[in-house]
Amino acid sequence: MAELEAIVGKLEKGDVKLEDSIALYERGAALKARCESLLKEAEARIERIRLSADGKPTGVAPLDA
């Protein structure tokens, strides 16, 4: 994530050569895709605690996105 933020900062400054900008953009796109993949994996592992009518935990269920 830190590398992606650094890339965005460089591109926002606008003082990078065109070839370097293209390479940075491609790297940023790859990092963004990886971050999205990791986030989806994490969301899939998160569970929601199920409660009975009296409020006591009865188990877990997948978290609805």
Contacts for 46 with CB less than 8 Å, ≥ 6 apart = 62, 63
**Residue the block writes with tokens 């990092």:** 31
Helices (H) and strands (E) counted in the chain, each on its own, are 2, 2
Q: pLDDT of 4-62, one tens digit each?
A: 999 999 999 999 999 999 999 999 999 999 999 999 888 777 777 787 888 888 887 77
pTM over 0.95: no
